[in-house]
């Protein structure tokens, strides 16, 4: 193929000749071996990269600063090391070259990856931030988001939960969409866009570049609205084979919990309540304990059973890289394994990546092959809450049993009958229920670069990713026998079953690019044209069978009834075509312009709305390069101003939302087996019903985001101190919004909304990043970084027919009435909490009489809600009176799960072989709804209830528990459960020691570092629940602690080995 191309094109032949000539020319120079020491401030400098200029030949200095390299006598060597000025030295026939490097902390020459190319940091006009592998590797996690937390100003990362294998929520510059789950960034790995988190292991990543502003992200057009995360994986370097082994092992712990009542306290409250509601004396009341006398001495803490303290976590990786002229390779394998702190929650993942790069002449071919296998075990839904529900006098349960024997049943003559025993079986079944999800994915990508002329380059890139996921959920059979050995039949709804869900997903990407780069004097011009094609296919089915015959056989054949197979309407195929043109120009590195335009077509839309334009423009001015800056250049080394404007879109909503369809499954039956004898239609055949169930909007179109960004970058004292500051305003237009149609049109529940472009939203933000690096003369180096980000979100327009939307998942506890608390409402941030204000407890009869005006059903000990001023009695336009009842109108704005600002602080230091680093993260101003507390209240088990208002404790400020989870006082949507979610957390602290080179040399290894590390060691917060960091699904349930799996503390030791 290559030869053919060369043969048929004359120009290529000419080039070939030219190249051959050059090679011949080189051949005449003399080969020699050059060696020497690289030092700084008189001390040897290990790890310095030494490269023969214009070739791929390279070497790295060892721990004594020594290097050896083969080169020609006429060659030039390039010495480079982070934090030092790069030096170029001509060999001029010498065989020994000792070099001293000058400290230079300037990062301006750092290469930053922007979409479809790279730029020197100095020429950057957008808000793009790079995080290198060393920073990422400091956190032990399976998740990229978690590793990025606190590293980049304006990238808000909130752990969704502490469940192993869970992905953190990443919000770049605030909410970008009002659709649940569509606020995340686009991931691009080595140029290939992914539909979701690519689940890479941290060890295979070389760097992550985040395109925060729309001017940068609009390169990815329709998918850029949530920002873009560009991931570059490790590539091999020419030189000696480098083997690195990292190994880490640790344990996890949770540090807080919800306080619960003891058996005695609970029984006391039971009897008190019984006496109060029946009018009997306390001693005359039969409480639950009386009916279950054998439970008398129990004081069970289910927590001890469900939680798995000191759960292990481990992470191991091996990286082999190296290469010779024309071929470099990098192989990475990693294994991550985390046991959850809760039963039945584990995650393990095995990643392999093999990257190779072939270079020959004008051709460069880079390939990547990946394999991923992960296994995630999930406990039953809401198991965590079982801790809060379980009464301490109920018996202890042993996990993993398939039968419970000798269960006492001493209450047969009581109204409850065998209920408690059946319920015990139900709880045991529930705890034993788990789901195992296996995921396998294989990926391959190839990139071919051809330099047609020194300034014209063609690139073709292809990527394929195939993933296969299988989830198996088993509700096991569990038989309960009483003391007489009789089987107690389970409750009718305690059905044993197996559910298997299989998803197949494949994604193909192709991109063709043409790049023209030319310098004319001080002008530097870069032109880019891209054509991009993408296709994603998804297939899904779920199978279910019920009634397990024997707990030992849990494959499908072991179940006796109810074959159910469904595809749930989840199959889809999506396609995307993109055309992109970009021009980058700078004059003398001083005045920089970048403009791009992308045209995208997506199958998500009907033909009339299919294509969209996404332009962007940005300007940069390196003010410090101007002559007038000279006087202060010594102190303020660089000063750059950046302005940018860009447009991005979002097409991520349920596929085929623009097509109205009919669905099967609204069935009826005619005929009857029990028919009156005068008739004869005794056959019962289901009459299959098919009908349209929801409305579609054929005219759905892009959701667009227009953002303006102003940034400055400053560097002081030889680049030791850098500072950057960005402000932005982004206007989100035509937000896709699930507009709720009136139920009179025949739709409700999940069918009720159609996707319409209706809402507008604004994000205004401010980001700052400060970095300081100090390279000490005596080998004591330290650095610190500080980030600050503030984003203000405001919904500026909502659908005229849905002015207030309560978000579907925003209840705080599954136990109570499940009131929704988060809303989208014009004039407030998205997903703001709207709650009833509370006004203490009704403590006296007088207070009760007064409050009965508002709520006639009120009783003593209940929480008093505020009847907000909603009625305008004197027609002055200002509401001045309550409406005499507590209803939806009395819910008022009470903040949200979105923080006011967040800050990250990193500190690192090393001296000789010892290194230390820590990472603090703080979030201020977010509110948290304490759903765990609400759950324990509604279950009547919370320790507070012991101290609640009762007839004998009439001064308490804790509302009375009347025995029902739906008690008016414990309703979800009240500020009683609202807490301040601000926190400061020591996310990471580590101390390491590298063995001196004398020792490692003897051991014949390159480097050996051992370290101890702790994650989430310390959290300073006023929040009373498990964890103030409550991300959940990132939007509708953000800030709502629904008994979320808490984030854990981790303590680890690790080893890094390099050959």
Partner 1 sequence: MCMLVLVSQACSDDFLDQTNPNSLTTKSFWKNNSQLNQGLNSVYSALKNNDVLGIQNESVRTDLAVPSGYRQATRPDEMYFQDFTANTKYVENKWNALYLGVFRANQVIENYERLAVDYTTEAAAEEGSRVYAQARALRGYFYYVLNTSFNSGNIPLVSSVPKDFEEFQKALSSSEAVQAFYRDDLQYGIDNLPSTYADWESYGSNNLGRITAGACEALMGKSFLAENDFQNAEGYFKNVIENYNYALAEDIATTVTGIAEFNSESIFEINYTTNVNLETTGEESLAQNITYIVFNANIQPSSWLAMKYRADKIDPADPANINVGADVYNENGEIIGTEDRMRLYSKRMGDCMGQVDDPDSPMYGAINGEYGNATGVAPFARNRVNMFKKFLHWNTIGGGAGEDRSTLMNNRSGINIPVIRLADVYLMYAECMLESGNLPEGLKYINRVRKRSHLVLLGKASEAGAEFNNLETTYMDDIDFDSSNGQQPVTVQNLMEHLRFTERPLELSLEGDRATDLRRWGKFKEQLEHLASIKYDYWHYEKNLNGKHGTRYKCFLTVSGEEPTTYEGKKVFNQPPEVQDAVVGAQKFNESLHAYLPMPQSEIDSNLNWDEFVQ
Number of residues that bind partner 1 (CB under 8 A): 105
Sign of CA dihedral 567, 570, 576, 582: negative
In the window 606-635, what residues touch partner 1 (CB under 8 A)? 607, 610
Which among 366, 445, 449 is positioned nearest to 192, based on CA atoms? 445
Q: Return the SS3 of 490.
A: coil
The only residue of 21, 25, 415, 454 in contact with partner 1, by rule CB under 8 A: 415
If one asks whether residue 413 binds partner 1 (CB under 8 A), the answer comes out as yes
Helix (H) or strand (E) holding 266: helix 263-278
User: Phi, psi at residue 788, to the nearest 5°?
Assistant: -140, 135
In terms of CB distance, is 519 or 885 closer to partner 1? Answer: 885
Give least dist CB 670 to partner 1, A.
5
Give least dist CB 676 to partner 1, A.
4
Name the residue with tokens 């960091």: 1029
The only residue of 17, 86, 672, 1022 in contact with partner 1, by rule CB under 8 A: 672
Cα–Cα distance for residue pair 140/643, rounded to 1 Å: 37
Give least dist CB 239 to partner 1, A.
33
- Quick one: tokens of 835? 């709650």
In terms of CB distance, is 651 or 713 closer to partner 1? Answer: 651
The only residue of 54, 181, 665, 996 in contact with partner 1, by rule CB under 8 A: 665
Beta strand 456-475 pairing with 497-520: antiparallel
If one asks whether residue 330 binds partner 1 (CB under 8 A), the answer comes out as no
* Window of 569-577, 832-840, 935-943, 1014-1022 that interacts with partner 1 by CB under 8 A: 569-577
Q: Looking at the chain, how many residues does it have?
A: 1059
In terms of CB distance, is 55 or 801 closer to partner 1? Answer: 801
Check if the beta carbon of residue 100 is closer than 8 Å to that of residue 79. no
In terms of CB distance, is 308 or 532 closer to partner 1? Answer: 532
* Window of 232-240, 633-641, 690-698, 891-899 that interacts with partner 1 by CB under 8 A: 690-698
Give least dist CB 577 to partner 1, A.
5
Q: Return the SS3 of 49.
A: strand
Give least dist CB 642 to partner 1, A.
33
Q: Return the SS3 of 934.
A: helix
Q: DSSP class of residue 103? A: B
Give least dist CB 252 to partner 1, A.
37
Q: DSSP class of residue 728? A: E
In the window 572-601, what residues touch partner 1 (CB under 8 A)? 572-577, 601
* Window of 4-12, 128-136, 390-398, 801-809 that interacts with partner 1 by CB under 8 A: 801-809
Check if the beta carbon of residue 94 is closer than 8 Å to that of residue 69. no
In the window 803-822, what residues touch partner 1 (CB under 8 A)? 804
Buried b (16+ CB within 10 A) or exposed e, 671-688: eeeeeeeeeeeeeeeeee
The only residue of 22, 241, 549, 688 in contact with partner 1, by rule CB under 8 A: 688
Give least dist CB 773 to partner 1, A.
44
Cα–Cα distance for residue pair 35/38, rounded to 1 Å: 10
If one asks whether residue 277 binds partner 1 (CB under 8 A), the answer comes out as yes
In terms of CB distance, is 89 or 696 closer to partner 1? Answer: 696
If one asks whether residue 699 binds partner 1 (CB under 8 A), the answer comes out as no
* Window of 87-95, 233-241, 247-255, 528-536 that interacts with partner 1 by CB under 8 A: 528-536
In the window 2-41, what residues touch partner 1 (CB under 8 A)? none
The only residue of 74, 196, 681, 844 in contact with partner 1, by rule CB under 8 A: 681
* Window of 148-156, 355-363, 679-687, 1035-1043 that interacts with partner 1 by CB under 8 A: 679-687
If one asks whether residue 565 binds partner 1 (CB under 8 A), the answer comes out as no
**HSE value, Cβ hemisphere, 13 Å, CA-based, for 1026:** 23
If one asks whether residue 1003 binds partner 1 (CB under 8 A), the answer comes out as no
The only residue of 21, 521, 677, 877 in contact with partner 1, by rule CB under 8 A: 677
Cα–Cα distance for residue pair 622/592, rounded to 1 Å: 8
Check if the beta carbon of residue 735 is closer than 8 Å to that of residue 795. no
Cα–Cα distance for residue pair 381/406, rounded to 1 Å: 29
In the window 206-225, what residues touch partner 1 (CB under 8 A)? none
Q: Return the SS3 of 432.
A: helix
If one asks whether residue 557 binds partner 1 (CB under 8 A), the answer comes out as no
Give least dist CB 609 to partner 1, A.
11
Give least dist CB 536 to partner 1, A.
10
Check if the beta carbon of residue 263 is closer than 8 Å to that of residue 392. yes
The only residue of 281, 800, 877, 955 in contact with partner 1, by rule CB under 8 A: 800
In terms of CB distance, is 627 or 664 closer to partner 1? Answer: 664
* Window of 140-148, 314-322, 369-377, 652-660 that interacts with partner 1 by CB under 8 A: 652-660
In terms of CB distance, is 242 or 539 closer to partner 1? Answer: 539
Beta strand 572-587 pairing with 611-622: unpaired
Give least dist CB 817 to partner 1, A.
10
Cα–Cα distance for residue pair 836/847, rounded to 1 Å: 19
The only residue of 30, 744, 750, 873 in contact with partner 1, by rule CB under 8 A: 744
- Quick one: tokens of 337? 């394994």
Which among 89, 73, 70 is positioned nearest to 30, based on CA atoms? 73
- Burial class from Cβ neighbours inside 10 Å (0-12, 13-18, 19+) for residue 542 reads middle
- Geometric angle at alpha carbon 155, from 150 and 159, rounded to 5°: 65
Give least dist CB 417 to partner 1, A.
7
Buried b (16+ CB within 10 A) or exposed e, 700-713: bbbbbbbbbbebeb
In the window 481-510, what residues touch partner 1 (CB under 8 A)? 489-496, 510
Strands (DSSP E) contained in 145-259 are: 155-158, 169-172, 186-189, 192-194, 205-211, 228-233, 239-253
Check if the beta carbon of residue 141 is closer than 8 Å to that of residue 159. no
Give least dist CB 816 to partner 1, A.
13
Give least dist CB 935 to partner 1, A.
19
* Window of 431-439, 669-677, 905-913, 915-923 that interacts with partner 1 by CB under 8 A: 669-677
* Window of 38-46, 358-366, 630-638, 673-681 that interacts with partner 1 by CB under 8 A: 673-681
If one asks whether residue 279 binds partner 1 (CB under 8 A), the answer comes out as yes
Give least dist CB 122 to partner 1, A.
32
Cα–Cα distance for residue pair 139/481, rounded to 1 Å: 49
In terms of CB distance, is 399 or 662 closer to partner 1? Answer: 662
Q: DSSP class of residue 489? A: P
Name the residue with tokens 């940034």: 711
Q: Return the SS3 of 305.
A: helix
In the window 845-884, what residues touch partner 1 (CB under 8 A)? 856-857
Q: Return the SS3 of 424.
A: helix
Binding mask 886-905 for partner 1 (x = CB under 8 A): -xx-----------------
Binding mask 443-482 for partner 1 (x = CB under 8 A): ---------------x-x----------------------
Give least dist CB 681 to partner 1, A.
4
User: Phi, psi at residue 292, to the nearest 5°?
Assistant: -135, 70
In terms of CB distance, is 70 or 566 closer to partner 1? Answer: 566
In terms of CB distance, is 356 or 751 closer to partner 1? Answer: 751
Check if the beta carbon of residue 41 is closer than 8 Å to that of residue 777. yes
* C-alpha distance across the termini of the chain, in Å: 40
The only residue of 18, 487, 564, 881 in contact with partner 1, by rule CB under 8 A: 564
């Amino acid at each position: 193929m290559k030869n053919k191309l060369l043969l048929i094109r004359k120009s290529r032949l000419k080039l070939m000749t030219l190249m051959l000539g050059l090679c011949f020319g080189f051949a005449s120079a003399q080969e020699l071996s050059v060696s020497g020491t690289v030092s700084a401030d008189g001390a040897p400098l290990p790890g310095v990269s030494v490269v023969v200029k214009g070739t791929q030949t390279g070497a790295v200095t060892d721990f004594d600063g020594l290097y050896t390299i083969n080169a020609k006598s006429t060659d030039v060597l390039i010495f480079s090391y982070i934090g030092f000025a790069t030096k170029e030295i001509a060999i001029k026939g010498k065989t020994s070259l000792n070099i001293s490097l000058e400290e230079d902390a300037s990062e301006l020459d750092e290469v930053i990856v922007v979409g479809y190319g790279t730029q020197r940091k100095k020429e950057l006009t957008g808000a793009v931030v790079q995080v290198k592998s060393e920073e990422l590797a400091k956190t032990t996690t399976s998740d990229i988001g978690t590793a990025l937390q606190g590293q980049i100003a304006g990238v808000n990362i909130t752990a969704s939960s502490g469940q192993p294998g869970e992905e953190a929520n990443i919000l770049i510059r605030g909410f970008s969409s009002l659709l649940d789950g569509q606020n995340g960034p686009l991931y691009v790995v080595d140029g290939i866009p992914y539909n979701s988190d690519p689940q890479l292991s941290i060890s295979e990543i070389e760097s992550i570049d985040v395109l925060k502003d729309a001017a940068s992200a609009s390169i990815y057009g329709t998918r850029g609205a949530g920002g873009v995360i560009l991931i570059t994986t490790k590539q091999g370097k020419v030189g000696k084979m480098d083997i690195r082994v990292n190994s880490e092992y640790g344990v996890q712990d949770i540090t807080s919990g919800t306080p619960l009542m003891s058996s005695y306290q609970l029984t006391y409250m039971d009897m008190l309540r019984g006496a109060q509601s029946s009018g009997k004396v306390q001693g005359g009341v039969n409480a639950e304990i009386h009916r279950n006398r054998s439970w008398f001495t129990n004081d069970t803490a289910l927590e001890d059973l469900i939680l798995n303290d000191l759960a292990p976590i481990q992470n191991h990786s091996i990286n082999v890289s190296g290469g010779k002229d024309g071929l470099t390779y990098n192989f990475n394998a990693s294994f991550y394994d985390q046991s959850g702190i809760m039963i039945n929650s584990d995650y393990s993942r095995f990643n392999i990546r093999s990257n190779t790069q072939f270079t020959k002449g004008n051709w460069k071919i880079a390939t990547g092959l990946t394999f991923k296998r992960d296994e995630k075990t999930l406990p039953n839904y809401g198991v965590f809450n079982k801790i809060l529900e379980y009464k301490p006098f109920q018996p202890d349960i042993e996990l993993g049993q398939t039968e419970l024997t000798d269960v006492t049943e001493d209450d047969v003559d009581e109204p409850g009958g065998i209920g408690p025993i059946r319920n015990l079986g139900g709880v045991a079944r529930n705890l034993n229920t788990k789901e195992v999800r296996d995921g396998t994915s294989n990926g391959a990508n190839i990139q071919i670069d051809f330099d047609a002329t020194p300034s014209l380059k063609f690139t073709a890139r292809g990527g394929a990713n195939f993933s296969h996921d299988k989830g198996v959920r088993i509700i096991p059979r569990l038989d309960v026998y009483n003391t007489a050995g009789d089987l107690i039949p389970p409750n009718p709804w305690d059905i044993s079953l197996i559910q298997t869900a299989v998803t197949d997903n494949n994604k193909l990407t192709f991109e063709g690019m043409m790049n023209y780069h030319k310098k004319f004097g001080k002008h530097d011009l870069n032109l880019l044209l891209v054509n991009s094609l993408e296709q994603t296919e998804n297939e899904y089915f779920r199978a279910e069978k019920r009634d397990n015959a024997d707990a030992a056989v849990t494959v499908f054949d072991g179940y006796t009834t109810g074959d159910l197979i469904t595809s749930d309407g989840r199959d889809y195929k999506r396609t995307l075509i993109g055309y992109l043109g970009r021009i980058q120009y700078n004059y003398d590195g001083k005045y920089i312009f970048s403009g791009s335009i992308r045209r995208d077509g997506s199958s998500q839309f009907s033909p009339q709305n299919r294509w969209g334009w996404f332009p962007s423009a940005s300007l940069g001015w390196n003010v410090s390069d101007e002559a007038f800056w000279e006087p202060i250049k010594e102190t303020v080394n660089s000063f750059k101003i950046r302005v940018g404007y860009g447009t991005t879109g979002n097409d991520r909503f349920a596929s085929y939302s623009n097509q109205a369809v009919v669905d099967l499954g609204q069935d009826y039956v005619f005929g009857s087996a029990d028919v009156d004898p005068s008739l004869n239609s005794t056959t019962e055949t289901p009459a299959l019903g098919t009908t349209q169930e929801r409305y579609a909007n054929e005219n759905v179109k892009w959701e667009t985001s227009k953002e303006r960004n102003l940034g400055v970058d400053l560097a002081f004292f030889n680049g030791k101190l850098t500072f950057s500051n960005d402000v932005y305003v982004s206007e989100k237009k035509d937000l896709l919004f699930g507009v709720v149609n009136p139920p009179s049109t025949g739709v409700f529940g999940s069918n009720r909304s159609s996707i319409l472009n209706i809402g507008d939203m604004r994000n205004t933000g401010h980001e700052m990043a400060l970095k300081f690096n100090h390279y000490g003369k005596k080998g004591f180096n330290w650095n610190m970084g500080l980030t600050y980000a503030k984003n203000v979100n405001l919904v500026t327009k909502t659908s005229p027919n849905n002015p207030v939307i309560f978000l579907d998942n925003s209840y705080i506890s599954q136990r109570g009435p499940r009131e929704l608390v988060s809303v989208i409402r014009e004039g407030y941030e998205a997903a703001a909490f709207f709650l009833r204000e509370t006004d203490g407890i009704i403590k006296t009869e007088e207070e009760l009489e007064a409050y009965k005006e508002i709520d006639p059903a009120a009783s003593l000990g209940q929480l008093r809600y505020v009847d907000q001023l909603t009625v305008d009695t004197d027609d002055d336009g200002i509401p001045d009176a309550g409406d005499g009842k507590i209803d939806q109108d009395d819910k008022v704005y009470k903040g949200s799960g979105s923080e006011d600002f967040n800050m990250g602080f990193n500190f690192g230091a090393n001296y000789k072989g010892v290194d230390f680093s820590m990472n603090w993260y703080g979030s201020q101003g977010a509110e948290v709804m304490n759903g765990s507390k609400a759950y324990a209240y509604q279950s009547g088990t919370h320790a507070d209830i012991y101290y609640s208002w009762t007839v004998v404790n009439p001064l308490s400020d804790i509302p009375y528990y009347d025995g029902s989870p739906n008690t008016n006082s414990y309703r979800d949507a009240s500020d009683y459960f609202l807490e301040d979610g601000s926190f400061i957390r020591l996310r990471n602290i580590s101390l390491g020691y590298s063995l001196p080179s004398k020792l490692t040399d003897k051991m014949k290894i390159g480097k050996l570092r051992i370290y101890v590390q702790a994650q989430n060691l310390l959290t300073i917060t006023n929040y009373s629940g498990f964890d103030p960091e409550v991300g959940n699904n990132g939007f509708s349930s953000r800030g709502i602690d629904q008994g979320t799996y808490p984030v854990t503390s981790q303590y680890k030791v690790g080893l890094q080995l390099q050959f």
